[in-house]
Amino acid sequence: MITDESIVNEKDTSSRIPEDKLNEKPNASEDEARSFQETTDTPASPSTIEAISASDEENLSPDEVDTPPSLEELTIQLKQMTEKAENNWENLIRQRAEYENLQKRMTRELTNARKYALEKFAIELLAVKDSMELGIDAAAKSETDMQTVQDGMALTLKMLGDAMNKFAIVEINPIEEKFDPQWHEAMAVQPTPNSEDGAILHVHQKGYQLNDRLLRPARVIVAKSIQEQPPENPT
């Protein structure tokens, strides 16, 4: 006869798990966790590192591998750099010598230019001096006509003027011009009725200029304008 108590005991028996089964799974989980932890925490061995490095080097291209140069290559490079340095030094010495020679030549030419700057002008003056000497010799003779002497002096003066014009020496003769203090020097001021104020009345000495540079100002007499007063009517 099946009673209620027997049914309950049977249910309890069927639902109860043996103790060895309960302890089996946790033990398996701990073993798996322990093996995983050992796998992750164990450092790689030196042989493993060398194998990895060797595989990385095999994957590099020949250009990426930094190989030190050989002794023969270093010797060749040293020889090339030494020859290059010697060539640069020789070029420097040569350029320095050329510069010194150029400087000496320029100094010599500048000295000669200062010393012989008037050479061409002096040659032109020689002909003028010869003409003046001939005129003096002719004037010393009693039979010489004074008109001949005068013509000779006029010719000599023309030769001198041509020589001066050839070297850009210009005469300043400002007669009846306006007084200009840049080119003229006033010797006196003369009151003149009914004349323009500052007009040059007389050139006492001519001036000269070389190109645009004043050699000597023209010495002149300058007019000062005054108004003539009308005569007074007799009383």
pLDDT digits (tens, 9 = 90+) for 132-186: 999 889 888 888 888 888 899 999 999 999 999 999 999 999 988 999 999 999 9
pLDDT of residue 127: 92
Q: What is the pLDDT of residue 192?
A: 85
**2 or 62: which leads in pLDDT:** 62
For 226, phi then psi, to 5°, come to -135, 150
Higher pLDDT, 35 or 204: 204
The model's confidence at residue 15, banded by pLDDT at 50, 70 and 90, is very low
With beta carbons less than 8 A apart as the criterion, state whether 37 and 30 touch.
no
**pLDDT value, residue 35:** 53
Please write the tens of the pLDDT for every residue from 38-63.
554 445 555 555 555 555 555 555 55
Predicted pLDDT at 197:
86
pLDDT higher for 12 or 162?
A: 162
